[in-house]
Amino acid sequence: MDYTPLIDLGSVDLSAVLNEVLALIPVVLPVTIGFIAFRKGYSFIKSVLKGA
């Protein structure tokens, strides 16, 4: 039985994929940090209001 892959990965240029991922880091990193900071701030405000 001859096996033929569904997707031919031989023609994929991995350096182009890596360049795109590296280009997304300056966008994704601040968004992630901001999201974590928002969650921590929201949790802090909730705990302060609950204790008041």
3-state secondary structure 1-52: CCCCCCCCHHHCCHHHHHHHHHHHHHHHHHHHHHHHHHHHHHHHHHHHHHHC
Indicate whether 3 belongs to any domain: no
Indicate whether 7 belongs to any domain: no
pLDDT tens digits, 6-34: 777 677 788 988 999 999 999 999 999 99
Q: In angstroms, rounded to a whole number, what is the distance separating the alpha carbons of residues 40 and 50? A: 15
Indicate whether 2 belongs to any domain: no
Indicate whether 35 belongs to any domain: yes
Structural domain total, the chain: 1
Domain that holds residue 45: 13-51
Tell me the residue type at 24.
L
Indicate whether 36 belongs to any domain: yes
Check whether 50 has a pLDDT greater than 80.
yes
pTM, to two decimals: 0.58
Check whether 47 has a pLDDT greater than 90.
yes
Tell me the residue type at 1.
M
